[in-house]
A and B are shown apart, each in its own frame.
Chain A
């Protein structure tokens, strides 16, 4: 048919135009695929990181009111979708004797063989314990006790002394998620018998399968349980990593959404230019009797074909780009590298989505083409300048209003934080849609900075930009989104990181840290064996300025799980935490009075307010405690309750410390290493320096931050390619104009300057608008994350982040303009003048 032939021949005659359109779609689809796959890799990395730090996501089933319960009353749970394993746990305090050394420990009764088989327990050497006289030791404890496979340890129980053979050494990380500080693993049945508690368990841990939803599994498990049992997220496990994961996931969703928005801008602009350039052809078709609908169908069919072609190329390019990015993210997250897993639907979905977006993006240009006045289209003069229509502005206002309402509801906690993602994207689209109002003025203002000797080029460049405000807005839209994204998320990330760093610097202000061997620094476990003796010995050392003990215990407050932190709070040091809405002095006085400080997340989850008197339960003892204030705390994801140590000892018997922080006298830090190491070894403990802890936490935070930066960087690269493509199309479209300018005597230098100046103006304007958008984005992210964190994060202006992005935006546009500018210079005059 002649129409399809016309389409094919138009592509053949002007392959640059068709290729640039295909390239736009390809870049957009590649960006979406790469971001999607990289975001998935990040999520997988976060999950692995979370598992490394906090253990595998799980749910605990325990008896209501505390105590052990018969394992037989437990209904079948393994068939619930999303459940990976059901693990009964039995804990037994014990004393290990190794030579002359006696170490308090917690023996953990589990089916070790089943755990190893399920991949939930990793043995660094040996095999799982199966017989009654076999144990598996935590690797750090075994090292502290100098025990190897085949060695013997003596285990004291209430009524017996048992000689046990070490048959396996367990990886500390994998043991931690269920042993909770315990370092000795025994088969569950012998341990129950030793404790005269056959058939009883302390709790049952339900392990959530990878990709499963803990809240969904929790709800399904709770539904099946008898009234005597309760299911909840383990207090010590709703921790920092998971909250970091949650926030980072929101960030990834936001970045992915913005990439899709950016893709839409790219494709929309390409389609618009592709159609605008052929205005005359469409006008002629209209004169010859083509109906508006026929022209519209023509444009839409072309969009579908070019969109499909671009999507196929883009999906392949996106996958190719995702491989190194995902590998980089895995490396930066310090998580074990996993092979790139691409969901089978990603590619077909990306191709379908790319084609659909191309068709959707072509809808408006198609309407424009269909509405071309035959006469106006045939005129030699270019179409008159088009302002921003009232309908367009009304659409932008509606988008602003909807997104603002949703954002407000998120901040007021009437909607979940996740709702902030689409609202933020809508707000960004509204922001870009509003830019045509300010863009001409801004461009004109920026143009004043261009030297007078380039007046002609400057005037023509500004004229080109102002002439088509909508198209200019679409061109800069890509840049605005990329810059807003980078500046907004950049600020939010840096502010969050500063907040976390500020927290742990306050919390861990010491030179050395002693912990139980089975406990990994940086993640506070539930109460394990106490280390009072060690604490006393440390205090007696010369060169020690200050010793602060921190006891940690799982508890319940206002009916919900929490972690109770009992801590020495010396009068001569700042509070180890940052109060919200009150002064440090007032909080100190209140803590001295025996009141508590609640973590902001705990307060939000449990509805606790300062001044409330709440019931707190620890170790089966209950006491009423007044909440003095809320504090910024990331311990166990902020679900913590801080008490003075002496108050916790009086109320709950929580006396001994799980962690001992040691501050050396000036200049004595190095000299304390050896005596502290000796104390650590003699009590089966680990000694770590503050730098070591800092590096550990920095590693986690830095990994998450870097992965977000990598995806942001990807967005910027895509934005650059988009701008490059748009500028190329701009030059293609202006072939006739540039040819005429050359014909009337414009030098090649002037033409180059004209093209480059136009791009620079677009870059500077887009960068400035993007910077404003970025600051607003940062503010909105802070507001939206407030309900998640329970406290506002201090937002700060970071000139470096803004400056780097602005310079990058201008650099990208100048580079993007260079090749099209050179092409414009080398145009064949006669050919370009005769170009329609």
Chain B
């Protein structure tokens, strides 16, 4: 049974004002993702890959069509219920880490649990466990500005999995990292799939990272151009090193 399903998904931006032209970012996307899949969404800039990810993650609502997460139509949920789904069932990893600069790493990681009303002690324990998973236990008390780009992104992954979500969505998670850190991040995401049977959906424009995933969906002009399985997920070592274009992260 699919854990995530999209039916006739459409998303249009703009066009509400007089004379303003509307842009169709997604145009009738149908998609089904099984539990434990590692899916890479690729495509050129403006192809609609990030828009698809945002709709699948419930941080944006479709213009038309539906997204079913574990059989629940996200469009049928009100704002608060959707927020609870994001908090409990979905983990997000962004290109720019998006850690709150005012909080320490462990506090950042525990945030989804805190928002869910989990007691401080329990949420901190869970956060430390998640940090251990990503190898950041010694950095738990540090603020984001005291961490390197790679550490921040691993911290963001720890935050994404602290609530043990059904799926983890990652939007260009290596886009701001150098090759070493990129490899570590992808390795972490792969471990989620192989060791925890979690579902990971990753947006990337880097073919070498896409090649690591078990399934690659290629987007073009808001539609799925191709959707093929790469066979069993390969190890990171098997993949080609990330391209130089993705090595923008300055530190470490």
Chain A residues near B (Cβ < 8 Å):
1-3, 5-6, 9-10, 12-13, 281, 284-294, 373-375, 378, 836
Question: Is there an interface contact between B60 and A288, defined as CB atoms closer than 8 Å?
Answer: no
The A contact surface, by secondary structure, is helix
| Chain A residue at minimal CB-CB distance from B51 | A375
* Other-chain residue from A1, A12, A285, A288 in contact with B92 (beta carbon distance below 8 A): A288
Question: Is there an interface contact between B84 and A9, defined as CB atoms closer than 8 Å?
Answer: no
Q: Could you count the A-B residue pairs with CB atoms below 8 Å apart for me: how many are there?
A: 73
Of B64-72, B97-105, B221-229, the one with at least 4 CB within 8 A of chain A: B97-105
* Other-chain residue from B86, B100, B123 in contact with A281 (beta carbon distance below 8 A): B100
Residues from chain B with a CB closer than 8 A to the CB of A1 are: 114, 120
Say yes or no for B87: interface residue by CB 8 A criterion: yes
Scan residues 70-95 of chain B and give those whose CB is less than 8 A from a CB of chain A.
Answer: 79-80, 83-88, 92, 94
Residues from chain B with a CB closer than 8 A to the CB of A286 are: 59, 83
Question: Is there an interface contact between B114 and A2, defined as CB atoms closer than 8 Å?
Answer: yes
Residues from chain B with a CB closer than 8 A to the CB of A373 are: 60
Say yes or no for B54: interface residue by CB 8 A criterion: yes
* Other-chain residue from B54, B60, B83, B88 in contact with A290 (beta carbon distance below 8 A): B83
Known: A294-B115, A374-B59, A375-B59. A289 touches B101 (CB 8 A): no
Residues from chain B with a CB closer than 8 A to the CB of A12 are: 102
Residues from chain B with a CB closer than 8 A to the CB of A3 are: 114-115
* Other-chain residue from A10, A290, A374, A375 in contact with B102 (beta carbon distance below 8 A): A10
* Other-chain residue from A9, A375, A378, A836 in contact with B103 (beta carbon distance below 8 A): A9
Shortest CB-to-CB span from A813 to chain B, Å, is: 32
20 cross-chain CB contacts under 8 A: A1-B114, A2-B110, A2-B123, A3-B114, A6-B103, A6-B107, A13-B102, A284-B100, A285-B111, A287-B98, A288-B115, A289-B83, A289-B88, A291-B83, A292-B83, A294-B115, A374-B60, A375-B59, A375-B60, A836-B101
Shortest CB-to-CB span from B172 to chain A, Å, is: 13
Say yes or no for B215: interface residue by CB 8 A criterion: no
Q: Measured between alpha carbons, how far is A238 from B189 in the docked complex, in Å?
A: 88
For this complex, into which size category does the number of interface residues on chain B fall? 20 to 34
Known: A13-B101, A375-B54. A289 touches B59 (CB 8 A): no
Q: Measured between alpha carbons, how far is A294 from B117 in the docked complex, in Å?
A: 11
Shortest CB-to-CB span from B219 to chain A, Å, is: 18
Please give 14 more A-B residue pairs, beta carbons under 8 A apart, in addition to A291-B83, A294-B115, A375-B59: A2-B114, A2-B120, A3-B115, A5-B107, A6-B107, A9-B102, A286-B59, A286-B83, A287-B86, A288-B86, A288-B92, A289-B85, A290-B83, A373-B60
Question: Is there an interface contact between A2 and B86, defined as CB atoms closer than 8 Å?
Answer: no
| Chain A residue at minimal CB-CB distance from B58 | A374
Shortest CB-to-CB span from B138 to chain A, Å, is: 21
Shortest CB-to-CB span from A701 to chain B, Å, is: 57
Shortest CB-to-CB span from B180 to chain A, Å, is: 23
For A281, A288, A374, A375, the residue with the greatest tally of chain B CB atoms inside 10 Å of its CB is A288
Question: Is there an interface contact between B115 and A285, defined as CB atoms closer than 8 Å?
Answer: yes
* Other-chain residue from B80, B88, B112, B163 in contact with A291 (beta carbon distance below 8 A): B80
Known: A287-B92, A288-B112. A2 touches B103 (CB 8 A): yes
Say yes or no for B252: interface residue by CB 8 A criterion: no
| Chain B residue at minimal CB-CB distance from A7 | B102
Q: Measured between alpha carbons, how far is A1 from B116 in the docked complex, in Å?
A: 12
For B59, B87, B112, B159, the residue with the greatest tally of chain A CB atoms inside 10 Å of its CB is B59
Q: Measured between alpha carbons, how far is A224 from B236 in the docked complex, in Å?
A: 101
Q: Measured between alpha carbons, how far is A374 from B57 in the docked complex, in Å?
A: 11
Question: Is there an interface contact between A289 and B60, defined as CB atoms closer than 8 Å?
Answer: no
Residues from chain B with a CB closer than 8 A to the CB of A290 are: 83, 87, 115
Shortest CB-to-CB span from B51 to chain A, Å, is: 9
Shortest CB-to-CB span from A280 to chain B, Å, is: 8
Q: Measured between alpha carbons, how far is A9 from B111 in the docked complex, in Å?
A: 15
Residues from chain A with a CB closer than 8 A to the CB of B116 are: 289
| Chain B residue at minimal CB-CB distance from A9 | B102
The B contact surface, by secondary structure, is helix
Question: Is there an interface contact between A289 and B112, defined as CB atoms closer than 8 Å?
Answer: yes
Question: Is there an interface contact between A5 and B103, defined as CB atoms closer than 8 Å?
Answer: yes
Question: Is there an interface contact between A292 and B115, defined as CB atoms closer than 8 Å?
Answer: no
Residues from chain A with a CB closer than 8 A to the CB of B112 are: 288-289
| Chain B residue at minimal CB-CB distance from A380 | B96
Q: Measured between alpha carbons, how far is A373 from B60 in the docked complex, in Å?
A: 8
Q: Measured between alpha carbons, how far is A10 from B102 in the docked complex, in Å?
A: 6
Q: Measured between alpha carbons, how far is A325 from B78 in the docked complex, in Å?
A: 55
| Chain B residue at minimal CB-CB distance from A377 | B59
Question: Is there an interface contact between B120 and A289, defined as CB atoms closer than 8 Å?
Answer: no
Residues from chain A with a CB closer than 8 A to the CB of B107 are: 2, 5-6
| Chain B residue at minimal CB-CB distance from A836 | B101
Question: Is there an interface contact between B111 and A291, defined as CB atoms closer than 8 Å?
Answer: no
Shortest CB-to-CB span from B204 to chain A, Å, is: 18
Question: Is there an interface contact between B80 and A292, defined as CB atoms closer than 8 Å?
Answer: yes
Scan residues 96-136 of chain B and give those whose CB is less than 8 A from a CB of chain A.
Answer: 98, 100-103, 107, 110-112, 114-116, 120, 123
Residues from chain B with a CB closer than 8 A to the CB of A6 are: 100, 102-103, 107
Q: Measured between alpha carbons, how far is A2 from B117 in the docked complex, in Å?
A: 11
Q: Measured between alpha carbons, how far is A836 from B102 in the docked complex, in Å?
A: 11
Q: Measured between alpha carbons, how far is A2 from B83 in the docked complex, in Å?
A: 18
Q: Measured between alpha carbons, how far is A289 from B101 in the docked complex, in Å?
A: 18
Scan residues 125-170 of chain B and give those whose CB is less than 8 A from a CB of chain A.
Answer: 159, 163
* Other-chain residue from A5, A289, A375 in contact with B115 (beta carbon distance below 8 A): A289
Residues from chain A with a CB closer than 8 A to the CB of B88 are: 289
10 smallest beta-carbon distances between A and B, as pairs = A289-B87, A9-B102, A291-B80, A291-B83, A374-B59, A2-B114, A289-B86, A375-B60, A290-B115, A10-B102
For B54, B85, B114, the residue with the greatest tally of chain A CB atoms inside 10 Å of its CB is B114
Residues from chain A with a CB closer than 8 A to the CB of B100 are: 6, 281, 284
Residues from chain A with a CB closer than 8 A to the CB of B103 are: 2, 5-6, 9
Residues from chain B with a CB closer than 8 A to the CB of A288 are: 86-87, 92, 111-112, 115, 159
Q: Measured between alpha carbons, how far is A291 from B80 in the docked complex, in Å?
A: 5
Q: Measured between alpha carbons, how far is A780 from B60 in the docked complex, in Å?
A: 51
Q: Measured between alpha carbons, how far is A13 from B59 in the docked complex, in Å?
A: 28
Q: Measured between alpha carbons, how far is A378 from B100 in the docked complex, in Å?
A: 12
Residues from chain A with a CB closer than 8 A to the CB of B159 are: 288
For B83, B86, B101, the residue with the greatest tally of chain A CB atoms inside 10 Å of its CB is B83
Shortest CB-to-CB span from A605 to chain B, Å, is: 59
Residues from chain A with a CB closer than 8 A to the CB of B123 are: 2
Shortest CB-to-CB span from B45 to chain A, Å, is: 15
| Chain A residue at minimal CB-CB distance from B113 | A2
Known: A1-B114, A1-B120, A373-B60. A292 touches B79 (CB 8 A): yes
| Chain B residue at minimal CB-CB distance from A289 | B87
Q: Measured between alpha carbons, how far is A12 from B102 in the docked complex, in Å?
A: 8
Q: Measured between alpha carbons, how far is A287 from B57 in the docked complex, in Å?
A: 9
Question: Is there an interface contact between A378 and B83, defined as CB atoms closer than 8 Å?
Answer: no
Question: Is there an interface contact between B94 and A378, defined as CB atoms closer than 8 Å?
Answer: yes
Residues from chain A with a CB closer than 8 A to the CB of B83 are: 286, 289-292, 294
Shortest CB-to-CB span from B84 to chain A, Å, is: 7
Q: Measured between alpha carbons, how far is A3 from B159 in the docked complex, in Å?
A: 16
| Chain B residue at minimal CB-CB distance from A13 | B102
Residues from chain A with a CB closer than 8 A to the CB of B120 are: 1-2
Shortest CB-to-CB span from B223 to chain A, Å, is: 21
Question: Is there an interface contact between A287 and B59, defined as CB atoms closer than 8 Å?
Answer: yes
Q: Measured between alpha carbons, how far is A285 from B10 in the docked complex, in Å?
A: 26
Q: Measured between alpha carbons, how far is A294 from B94 in the docked complex, in Å?
A: 23
Residues from chain B with a CB closer than 8 A to the CB of A836 are: 101
